[in-house]
Amino acid sequence: MPRIAANLTMLFNEVPFLDRFEAAAKAGFGAVEFLFPYEYKPAELRARLDGNGLKLVLHNLPPGDWGKGERGIGCHPDRISEFRDGVARAIDYATALGAPQVNCLAGIAPNDAPAEKLRTTLAENLRFAADRLASAGIRLLIEPINFYDIPGFYLNRTAQALELIAEAGSDNLYVQYDIYHMQRMEGELANTIKANLGKIAHMQLADNPGRNEPGTGEINYRFLFGWLDAIGYDGWIGCEYKPKTTTEAGLGWRAAHGL
């Protein structure tokens, strides 16, 4: 069955962030992911991972000013230097924490930049980041995100992500396929995943509508988990959902789905 990781940005948010590592371990998770590690010292996070027997499977590149609504700067033509500095910082953290891969958030498209400039900027940034990360033994991912939750987000569909990967021309660049986002944007989950399995290195889940835990919406996760086994997906799936009530109260979905 698929390997499931707790997203500590979304789950166990009833407790302070550093205490979520212990909560995840007690709930039976062996691996975690989170959006960003940069608020904490690497040694502090490493101690939480090791102390609770957890593996870190993913975090993101620095996103710009998250508190002011920025959701990545990968497509911003005037932020290339900042993006490259962020790549170096992400490598330092991923190396210290043992993360095998990091995700690049493309960002909300600036209104004053031509579409062609946005595309070439992102492709060039991805090429730069993928090459630097490859030297450190770390994969780079890009994630399409639905434009309902984040209006104006530049990267919205699987095909668009694959086109960017081809333009970047790096063999160290993969798709982070978020089932919830892609259900909202394009549907056709099973066949899309199968067709692009070789370029999907990580997945995330939530149900729709509501972005809550599996079993609360329209996505047939019982079928989908079996499908992923059948087609040979061997990556991690991060639980990036909003608990409908509390995290622990909603964790029964794992047993209900054979996990």
Q: Do residues 221 and 227 lie in contact, with contact meaning Cβ atoms separated by under 8 Å?
A: no
At position 18, the amino acid (one-letter code) is: L
Known catalytic membership, residue 39: no
Known catalytic membership, residue 240: yes
Catalytic residue among 14, 143, 186, 218: 143
- CA–CA separation, 118 vs 93, rounded Å? 28
DSSP string of the chain, one letter each residue: --EEEEETTTTTTTS-GGGHHHHHHHTT-SEEE-S--TTS-HHHHHHHHHHTT-EEEEEEPP-S-GGGT----TT-GGGHHHHHHHHHHHHHHHHHHT-SEEEE---BPPTTS-HHHHHHHHHHHHHHHHHHHHHTT-EEEE----TTTSTTBS---HHHHHHHHHHHT-TTEEEEEEHHHHHHHT--HHHHHHHTGGGEEEEEE--TTTS-STTSSS--HHHHHHHHHHHT--SEEEE----SS-HHHHTHHHHHTT-
At position 195, the amino acid (one-letter code) is: A
Catalytic residue among 82, 167, 240, 248: 240
Which residues have a catalytic role annotated? 143, 240
